[in-house]
Structure 1
Amino acid sequence: MTRELEGKVAVVTGAASGIGLASTEAMLAAGARVVMVDRDAAALGTLQRRYGDAVIPLVINLLDAQDCATLLPSVLEKAGRLDILHANAGSYVGGDLVDNDNAAIDRMLNLNVNVVMKNVHDVLPHMIERRTGDIIVTSSLAAHFPTPWEPVYASSKWAINCFVQTVRRQVFRHGIRVGSISPGPVISALLADWPAEKLQEARESGSLLEASDVAEVVMFMLTRPRGMTIRDVVMMPTQFDL
């Protein structure tokens, strides 16, 4: 891969595993410095030792409002600027609504919706001042299809899809590109709540994506010509097609 992001500073939330880690690795390979945001300090330390000074670990509990608000000041203190935000952190609640726990619903909606909105809100003034920036939000195929086995999760992604598309229209005049990526099921920790038989069936039928597949699309979005708008990329395994 050519070093198309040389000199750029990226922030990836939920960076210690899954899509966040794959996105980080792709950006590092393209020459970016990456601020890896996660609450797992041990994992971030291991990844920094693996990848060296191009990785800047930032331990934040995004579900804590005061901690969440430190994201941009900490990034500017450690890296001096911010060019790319990949708002990727999220959680999953599946199954029948009647079986869901209210506290789990609150946590998921906070992380999947409120935290994304706050992170984007907080970085926009810096990007507007510099008249450039890229914001990518990890959404889901569930944002486009009323998935009957995950009404709470799907609702969070429908909400964030609306947020991305409305904010995109507000800030493009400042040179800021905002888009989302909506993968079908990806092999990651988010699938831990899937019923075992459903997960096994999906694996056997080839109905799952790899996190690296998503990272490739993230890189396409970041390196496309500045004049090209990408509202959302829906990606799914061929065997999962709707």
Structure 2
Amino acid sequence: MQNSLEGKVAAITGSASGIGLASAEAMVAAGARVVLVDRDEAALTALAEQHGDAVVPLVVDLLDPQQCATLMPQVLDAVGRLDIFHANAGLYIGGDLVDADTSAIDRMMNLNVNVVMKNVHDVLPHMIERGTGDIMVTSSLAAHYPTPWEPVYASSKWAINCFVQTVRRQVFKHGIRVGSVSPGPVISALLDDWPAEKLAEAKAAGSLIEASEVADAVLYMLTRPRHVNIRDMVIMPTHFDL
């Protein structure tokens, strides 16, 4: 699949770490130029030094409505066009609902749902005008199963699953593909709040996957012939019991 995205321009939110970073590196390896969107300026600067002109760092706090609204204009100013948009930025809240901080719920739902909708809304006119484009959203296995240990997070991903499938139906006539990748537990910053013993147990049991393995699935979806749209790909560890 070497150079399968040659000449393409992509933008990925939450690209300083985890699935976003792994997807960015996979796309660069496949020949794309990638706009790295994140609020972590130091991490983006380091990645730009590492990858050179293949990446363009763009520091944006997507939870700031004014900054969020500048995302697409800044992308176009920097690279002139956009072929692929990967809405990947997200937050995680697990545990019992009664124990959740309500301000944390607001923050997570805003980033996981509202920001994705706003970003896709802002990207669509450019892709519609060009008559082509790919929109990819990082969802979750939790979008397909009422996961009892993460009701807030799962609800955000159920909303995104509906959003992806309805928007896809609206825009396929414009030559735009819309899909989501739904990983099970991934070794990433989203699991930082897991107890150390739970994380170690899951790793030993083979119940976690690597971000690079999710990125491989993203790249596969993006490199299908234009008449093929994989609307959702569920990826989970072989030994994950769900």
In structure 2, distance between residues paired with 1:157 and 1:150 = 11
The corresponding residue for 1:100 is 100
Following TM superposition, where does structure 1 have runs of at least 4 consecutive aligned residues deviating by more than 4 angstroms? none
The corresponding residue for 1:127 is 127
Counterpart amino acid of 1:223? T
In structure 2, distance between residues paired with 1:127 and 1:195 = 43
In structure 2, distance between residues paired with 1:181 and 1:219 = 10
Output one character per residue of 1:69-123: Cα deviation in whole Å (capped at 9) or x when no partner.
0010000000000000010000001110000000000000000000000000000
Identity %: 77
The corresponding residue for 1:227 is 227
In structure 1, distance between residues paired with 2:4 and 2:188 = 27
Aligned length: 242
In structure 2, distance between residues paired with 1:177 and 1:70 = 23
- Structure 1 unpaired stretches of 5+: none
In structure 1, distance between residues paired with 2:235 and 2:3 = 25
Secondary structure of the residue aligned to 2:20 is helix
In structure 2, distance between residues paired with 1:241 and 1:29 = 33
The corresponding residue for 2:210 is 210
In structure 2, distance between residues paired with 1:198 and 1:217 = 26
Deviation at 1:128, TM superposition (A): 0.2
The corresponding residue for 1:113 is 113
CA RMSD of aligned residues (A): 0.7
The corresponding residue for 2:49 is 49
The corresponding residue for 1:141 is 141
The corresponding residue for 1:63 is 63
Deviation at 1:204, TM superposition (A): 1.0
Question: When the two structures are superposed, what TM-score results if normalisation uses the length of structure 2?
Answer: 0.99
Secondary structure of the residue aligned to 2:89 is coil
Alignment of 1:145-164 (within 5 A): 145-164=145-164
Deviation at 1:194, TM superposition (A): 1.7
Counterpart amino acid of 1:9? V
- Structure 2 unpaired stretches of 5+: none
In structure 2, distance between residues paired with 1:229 and 1:85 = 15
Secondary structure of the residue aligned to 2:222 is helix
Secondary structure of the residue aligned to 1:194 is coil
Counterpart amino acid of 2:208? L
Deviation at 1:241, TM superposition (A): 4.3
